[in-house]
Amino acid sequence: MILDWKKILIPYKQAVEEIVVKFESIKNEYRELDKYSPIEFVTGRVKKVSSILDKAKKRGVPLEKIEDEIEDIAGIRIMCQFVEDIDKVVRLIKRRDGKDLKIICEKDYITNIKESGYRSYHVIIKYPVQTAFGEKEILAEIQIRTLAMNFWATIEHSLNYKFEGNIPQNVRERLKNAAEAAFKLDKEMSEIRDEIMEAQEAFQVKSTLIEDI
């Protein structure tokens, strides 16, 4: 069986672009209203064909089932400043359930931290894409995390890539310590959250006034 990946990935690319714009718009709306935004920034990517095939092989997923079983071909990442913002973003997503997206499942790696030290909240959704040939529903994974969680996950991911999944024990230990430090950083930041939010709102108003001059 030969798959035409170029054709298969078109709706995934479109979905990622649309979903990123939707969450960026929410962020901009908060900012326009001089309100604190629970969304700091949003990124998205379509998984590389080689990574899709590697994941399918690792999980024993046959080619014809890839689109049903690999949930993160379309991946969206929403970064937040504080752990508390993650809940708010999840609520924003839930409010859209049954409207422009359907929630399939949630994976809470913040309460249930992964063995690696990974923390993040994942929401798997079904998203309808209007293509040139009609509607196609695709699966997408939205990862919601703080800046500290993202920093750690990005570094760990690149080390995993470098060591092809076999990170040496001493580096693994350091990563565990770094995960603990990122956890503490999030906790400390949460404790001074009100002060930070007020300062940022004041700064935003001041910048807007300067722009208006």
Task: Note the residues at the interface with ligand 0O2 (CB under 6 A).
Answer: 47, 51, 55, 72, 75, 107, 114, 116, 118, 122, 153, 156-157
The smaller minimum CB distance to ligand 0O2, of residues 47 and 110, is found at 47
Least gap, CB of 66 to ligand 0O2 (angstroms):
13
69, 141, 188, 211: which one is catalytic? 141
The smaller minimum CB distance to ligand 0O2, of residues 30 and 151, is found at 151
194 vs 188: CA distance, rounded Å: 12
Residue 153: alpha-carbon gap to chain centroid = 11
**Phi and psi, residue 134, nearest 5°:** 110, -175
One DSSP character per residue, 78-129 reads: EEESSHHHHHHHHHHHHHTBTTTBEEEEEEETTTS--TT----EEEEEEEEE
Active-site annotation holds for 141: yes
Least gap, CB of 78 to ligand 0O2 (angstroms):
13
Least gap, CB of 176 to ligand 0O2 (angstroms):
11
The smaller minimum CB distance to ligand 0O2, of residues 185 and 196, is found at 185
Q: What is the maximal distance between C-alpha atoms in the chain?
A: 63
Catalytic residues: 141
